[in-house]
Amino acid sequence: MSAPEKPVCDPQYYELLEKLQSLDFVLVELNLYLDTHPDDLQAIQQFNILTQERTQLAEHFQRLYGPLQNFGRAYSKYPWQWSESPWPWQV
């Protein structure tokens, strides 16, 4: 049984979520590139910078809107936030 969907009216929610998705895309691509070019220092540096940016942005998003992932990858405020929707993958 899923929680009833409630709309997110804050445009910043969508802006931050889109930025997170963009960073995730670039990080996956860099990860794949580095699998075949492990000695590319510039790509490693870019990966590390973007990983730090993504981590900070995810923490900011979660403070404002709740967890992005479950299973111990995000904290929950009280009451338990996973019963609230929409979840990030539903928007």
Report the 3 state secondary structure along 5-62: ECCCCCHHHHHHHHHHHHHHHHHHHHHHHHHHCCCCHHHHHHHHHHHHHHHHHHHHHH
Q: Cα–Cα distance between 24 and 46 in angstroms, integer?
A: 13
CA distances from 10 to 13, 16, 47, 52 (A): 6, 10, 30, 25
CB atoms under 10 Å from CB of 85, counted, come to 16
- Predicted local distance difference test score (pLDDT) of residue 68: 85
- Predicted local distance difference test score (pLDDT) of residue 67: 84
pLDDT digits (tens, 9 = 90+) for 6-16: 556 789 999 99
Query: What residues in the chain have per-residue pLDDT under 70?
Result: 1-8, 70-89, 91
- Predicted local distance difference test score (pLDDT) of residue 9: 76
- Predicted local distance difference test score (pLDDT) of residue 77: 65
- Predicted local distance difference test score (pLDDT) of residue 1: 44
- Predicted local distance difference test score (pLDDT) of residue 90: 72
- Predicted local distance difference test score (pLDDT) of residue 45: 94
Contacts of 46 (CB under 8 A, 6+ apart): 30
